Chains A and B, each alone.
Chain A
């Protein structure tokens, strides 16, 4: 027969038995191995790209040579080719100008839009925000056909200005939704306090909501900047002359001539653009993730 004492006193395992330790050494090793695996998975394409960009033709096109080591000495020839026989610097400059303008337009549109949707539109705001987000899900491969007509109508074909006009159509919806999550985390009362403390509504927003939302604004800056940099379909459809091209389309059209691929220079072009952006991302990674999870939880 079971006594009361037996029933109520559950048997506790020995604390030192190891089975219940928070994390055993074995588990820790597995964890680090997995982390290493993922790090390698993410890094190998980059490493491959950088090594390839320094390879000579003889080295690259010999199937017996390992792609990860230099069998013949590395060369800078591919970089010279990139800068001398293509408009690479023009592409970069175009890209930076387009990206900068798109970022400015996006921030200027998104901050007031997200603010009004979170603060002024009541219960409708939330649903409107989701509707706006849905616009982002329409793929550019579908949209570029009607947009080509629009661009032709306003005489912007074959100019990077067309991209400045078109890119906000996908940066604004997504960033508005993202920014709404940030604004929702700023308590109403802080704004009201600022209005009582002597400021107009706009003054209160400028001095409290905006400074508190700086991480969110940085997130949308980075996000719209990278979206713009790697956009391909619109850039290909709307711009034809080299002087107007952005980097994603420019190197692709100038370094693939017929069936001749200038692989090493392509890799060099990609690496030169990708590395600064990757570093930038790394720098703001925490804030960036915070931005996305805020949106995910509260949006």
Chain B
């Protein structure tokens, strides 16, 4: 069952600005779907259209198999958590969580019960009397989630809910949020520009760019089998190396690109050897990055910090990458293709 579905959903802000361009998306019951993309790619607009805060230019939105295009936000049985959490500053935490229940005309006793239930799930029982300004970022986020939870919505819409937290708090909040979603089992659509959040939390990820879905798949598919060069370079840090080879771009992940020393067994049938120049090493504690050039194209290799590659600053070296780790893209369209021929990376010698 598709809980949320969009059909050729389009939003134009003007003739030139098409924020969302004919997006077809189906998200299944209980799924944690992440919309990932750079800022301005249309992911928030898409989410706001699903929430009813933005009117689509064309296309359909279905929630629980009903077209909801003309339903106002309050009638869509959804809950949303904004980036700023949008807590009502003039109300206590208790009143904030009670707010949607009051709108639903629930009686006081039922309200109390639900609030106690949501507060215990999110561990905010102690905070109910406080005002939002007396809360830390993480506490605010949990209050916003509790307020979303009490509505028992068809779907949670989360708009970058972790971006206001500091880096340390974000990592633990990521974990908490994922556990929370699995416990509740409510379909969740989560917007972020942070690929770590997307990879770590999403059951599936929709990578969006310029109003199009570039790829929809599991984190593993997105990372290992990128559909085009945008996905290949947007996901992964550092991004996938792309080296031109005829009318193709040959891509390989930095961690699949490793230095070959004299005593590495040379097996050219399974390993592509690449000669690089101008190597430079960057030490990052847990790992090290080696930057170099092939035919004037910058490539990067990621190695565990304890590996001594023995590469001097500015030197030349030979690197290798398993042929099974190579991905091929059309140089013009950027789309993934099956390799036209066996790549040799012209200019790179087979040692």
Contacts and interface: CB of A to CB of B under 8 A. Distances in A.
Given A190-B88, A212-B89, A195 B72 contact: yes
Nearest to B53: A192
Contacts of A187: 84, 86
Contacts of B84: 187, 189
Interface stretch (B55-63, B75-83, B288-296): B75-83
B149 to A, nearest CB: 12
A56 interface: no
Contacts of A208: 88, 90
B82 to A, nearest CB: 5
A212 B131 CA distance: 13
Interface stretch (A31-39, A197-205, A269-277): A197-205
B151 interface: yes
A81 interface: no
A194 interface: yes
Interface stretch (B97-105, B172-180, B205-213, B262-270): B97-105
B90 A192 contact: no
Interface residues of B, number: 23
B51 interface: yes
B7 interface: no
A193 B80 contact: yes
A196 interface: yes
Given A197-B103, A198-B100, A192 B73 contact: yes
A80 B147 CA distance: 63
A190 B86 CA distance: 5
A195 B73 contact: yes
Contacts of B80: 192-193, 196
Question: What secondary structure prevails in chain A residues at the interface with B?
Answer: helix
Interface in A186-226: 187, 189-190, 192-200, 203, 207-208, 211-212
A198 B73 CA distance: 7
Contacts of A189: 82-84, 86
A164 to B, nearest CB: 32
A197 B147 contact: yes
Contacts of B83: 189
B114 to A, nearest CB: 14
A198 B82 contact: no
Contacts of A194: 88, 99
**Which of A190, A194, A197, A198 is packed against the most chain B CB atoms within 10 Å?**
A197
A195 B88 contact: no
A196 B79 contact: yes
Given A198-B103, A199-B74, A200-B72, A193 B82 contact: yes
A212 to B, nearest CB: 6
A154 B261 CA distance: 100
A186 to B, nearest CB: 9
A208 B90 CA distance: 8
B234 to A, nearest CB: 27
Contacts of A198: 74, 100, 103-104, 151
B165 to A, nearest CB: 17
Nearest to B144: A193
B1 to A, nearest CB: 23
Nearest to A193: B86
Contact of A197 (B52, B53, B89, B99): B99
Contacts of B74: 195-200
Contacts of B72: 195, 200
A197 B151 contact: yes
Interface string A164-198: 00000000000000000000000101101111111
Contacts of A196: 51-53, 73-74, 76, 78-80
Contacts of A207: 99
A1 to B, nearest CB: 33
A190 to B, nearest CB: 5
B115 to A, nearest CB: 14
A114 B86 CA distance: 22
B180 to A, nearest CB: 19
Given A189-B82, A192-B53, A197 B90 contact: no
B152 to A, nearest CB: 12
Interface in A74-129: none
Top 9 nearest A-B pairs (CB, nearest first) are A198-B103, A197-B100, A193-B86, A189-B86, A196-B73, A198-B74, A189-B82, A195-B73, A211-B90
Interface of A: 187, 189-190, 192-200, 203, 207-208, 211-212
23 contacts: A189-B82, A189-B84, A190-B88, A193-B80, A193-B86, A194-B88, A194-B99, A195-B52, A195-B72, A195-B74, A196-B51, A196-B76, A196-B78, A197-B147, A198-B100, A198-B103, A199-B74, A200-B74, A203-B103, A208-B90, A211-B90, A212-B88, A212-B89
Given A192-B53, A196-B73, 19 more contacts: A189-B86, A190-B86, A192-B80, A194-B88, A195-B53, A196-B74, A196-B76, A196-B78, A197-B100, A197-B147, A198-B74, A198-B100, A198-B103, A198-B104, A198-B151, A200-B72, A212-B88, A212-B89, A212-B90
